[in-house]
């Protein structure tokens, strides 16, 4: 029984398969094996039948299960410097399969939605804090901007993992929704805020080494 199970565990551990979908598929395989054993099917026949059932379930997952179990996006900061160097800050531990959907600055410096980026490597940055939950904020290098006229800015982003869904596609088409966090400035830094039902769900703060003109609305931080 090791063959089918080894292959199954490899497939279900793929980053595009969410934990919920993995549990769903494993329950289907376990139920099938239990039923076959209760009927005293020979090991060779059992292995063949499980392999066929496994193929069916994986095909079923690709068409139906994976989109249904797509993970919810998590909010993140994106920073673009004058030299085009881009960094994303997130409380989520990112891997190479995650997709960062981020704002970008147009030729006039106005923020637009959105572009898809992927993290390159973990950086040593400690200038961003999680003001709401106190979780560690990790910084990841992104592919640098190749636009020589790129405007430096700090903006909002979201991290997607799992099967790409319509929400991600809509954002890449320029349709920003409530999943994209808002960014505003206080006198000494930038605040990334996300709200749901009038309550803060995320609040990251990036400290500057200089003062700026505040843009955050009065009473914004009282919504916590």
Taking only the tens of pLDDT, the chain with its 224 residues reads: 444 444 344 334 444 444 455 555 566 556 655 655 565 555 555 555 545 555 555 554 544 444 444 567 899 999 999 888 999 999 989 988 899 999 998 888 888 899 999 888 999 999 999 999 999 999 999 988 888 777 889 999 999 988 788 888 899 998 877 778 999 999 999 999 998 888 899 999 999 999 999 999 988 877 66
- Domain co-membership, 147 together with 115: yes
Regarding whether 107 and 15 lie in a shared domain, the answer is no
Residues 98 and 142 in one domain: yes
The alpha carbon dihedral of 88, 134, 220, 185 has a sign of negative
Ranges of beta strands (E only) in the chain are 74-80, 86-90, 99-105, 111-117, 119-123, 128-130, 138-142, 153-160, 182-186, 189-196, 199-207
Tokens of 62: 């690709």
On whether both 16 and 111 belong to a single domain, the answer is: no
Who contacts 1 (Cβ-Cβ below 8 Å, separation ≥6)? 33, 43, 46, 47, 50
Domain total of the chain: 2
DSSP tag of 110: -
Residue pair 100/117 in contact (Cβ under 8 Å)? The answer is yes
**Residue 107 shares a structural domain with residue 197:** yes
19-38 vs 2-12: helix axis angle to the nearest 10? 160
Contacts 24+ apart (CB under 8 A), 108-111: 109/151, 109/153, 111/153, 111/155
Residues 92 and 129 in one domain: yes
State the pTM of this model. 0.67
- 26: containing domain: 2-68
Asked if residues 147 and 141 have their Cβ atoms less than 8 Å apart, the reply is no
Question: Residue 206, Cα to own-chain centre: how many angstroms?
Answer: 20
φ/ψ (deg, to 5) at 182: -95, 145
Number of neighbouring beta carbons within 10 Å of residue 202? 18
**Together in a domain, 14 and 102:** no
Residues 161, 112: one domain? Answer: yes
For residues 176 and 214, membership in a common domain is answered with yes
Residue 147 is encoded by which pair of tokens? 């636009």
């Amino acid at each position: 029984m090791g063959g089918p199970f080894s292959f199954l565990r490899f497939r279900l551990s793929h980053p595009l398969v969410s934990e919920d979908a993995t549990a769903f598929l494993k329950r289907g395989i376990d139920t099938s094996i239990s039923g076959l054993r209760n009927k005293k099917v020979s090991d060779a026949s059992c292995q063949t039948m499980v392999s066929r059932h496994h193929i069916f379930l994986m095909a079923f997952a690709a068409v139906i299960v994976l989109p249904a179990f797509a993970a919810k996006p998590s909010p993140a900061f994106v920073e673009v410097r004058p030299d085009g160097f881009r960094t994303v800050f997130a409380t989520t531990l990112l891997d190479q399969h995650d997709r960062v959907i981020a704002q970008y600055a147009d030729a006039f410096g106005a923020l637009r939605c959105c572009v898809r980026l992927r993290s390159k490597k973990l950086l040593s940055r400690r200038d961003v804090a999680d003001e709401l939950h106190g979780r560690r904020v990790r910084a990841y290098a992104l592919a640098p901007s190749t636009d020589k006229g790129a405007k430096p800015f700090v903006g909002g982003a979201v991290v997607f993992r799992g099967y790409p869904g319509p929400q991600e596609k809509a954002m890449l088409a320029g349709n920003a929704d409530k999943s994209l966090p808002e960014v505003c400035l206080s006198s000494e830094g930038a605040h990334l805020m996300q709200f749901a039902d009038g309550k803060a769900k995320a609040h990251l703060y990036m400290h500057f080494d200089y003062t700026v003109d505040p843009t955050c609305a009065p009473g914004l931080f009282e919504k916590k």
